[in-house]
């Protein structure tokens, strides 16, 4: 059921349609939609900031509004959101992205607090550099601005990631799967790093 995460009516309808198709709440809700609209804070257009918040956070809020009460009524549910190392600290020229990633962590912790007694967990992944289209697009943009290659920029990215390589999508997926299993029941309200040792917290 495809939908644009920036269209809040559409994402709300996806949540309703999913529950209707199943005849109950989905067991799992993973929010991994994200965009980066970066630039100096003084020059960042308000619509770019608002779009980042809408896609990266508000869409998760809208879906959780629909699904979390249904999960709670059924006595079981798993919510996983994807934050960023920028959920933990701020970096120059990333006001929209950093604000949204702080917000998604806060929202997830509130969901964890509200629904823990009904068997619903909510956690945020805190990835470092993961081998995704978005990271490679950021590397391409930086390479074009600096007259260098994507590979050189990625090498610079990885200076803060002691693992020495990007985290794979499959590794992130395996962590999501664990959190969404029965074994993940006692883990809720957490920001869980998967960052190759970049930030010890």
Q: What are the residue ranges spanned by the domains of the chain?
A: 8-128+167-194
**CA 200, chain centre distance (Å):** 19
Residues in the chain, pLDDT under 70: none
Q: Is 97 a catalytic residue?
A: yes
Of 29, 49, 86, 97, catalytic: 97
Sign of the torsion formed by the C-alpha atoms of 185, 170, 193 and 29: negative
The highest-level CATH class for domain 8-128+167-194 is: alpha beta
What per-residue confidence (pLDDT) applies to 17?
96
* Integer Cα distance of 139 and 136 in angstroms: 5
| pLDDT at residue number 38 | 87
**8 A C-beta contact, residue 42 and residue 93:** no
Residue 45 to residues 4, 38, 85, 90, 95: CA-CA distances in angstroms? Answer: 21, 10, 23, 19, 11
Tokens, residue 37: 């609209």
pLDDT given for residue 198 in this prediction: 94
pLDDT at residue 201, rounded to an integer: 76
């Amino acid at each position: 059921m495809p939908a644009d995460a920036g269209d809040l009516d559409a994402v709300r309808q996806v949540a309703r349609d999913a529950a209707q198709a199943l005849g109950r709440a989905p067991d799992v809700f993973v929010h991994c939609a994200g965009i980066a609209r970066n630039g100096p804070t003084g020059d960042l257009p308000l619509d770019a900031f608002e779009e980042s918040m809408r896609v990266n956070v508000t869409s998760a809020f809208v879906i959780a509004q629909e699904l979390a009460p249904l999960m709670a009524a059924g006595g079981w549910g798993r919510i996983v959101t994807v934050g960023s190392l920028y959920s933990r600290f701020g970096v120059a020229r990333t006001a929209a992205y950093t604000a949204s990633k702080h917000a998604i962590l806060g929202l997830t912790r509130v969901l964890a607090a509200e629904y823990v007694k009904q068997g619903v967990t909510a956690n945020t992944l805190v990835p470092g550099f993961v081998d995704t289209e978005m990271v490679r697009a950021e590397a391409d943009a930086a390479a074009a601005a600096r007259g260098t290659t994507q590979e050189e920029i990625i090498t610079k990215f990885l200076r803060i990631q002691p693992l020495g390589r990007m985290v794979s999508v499959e590794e992130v997926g395996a962590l999501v799967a664990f959190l969404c299993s029965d074994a993940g029941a006692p883990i809720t309200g957490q920001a869980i790093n998967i960052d190759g040792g970049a930030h010890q917290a």
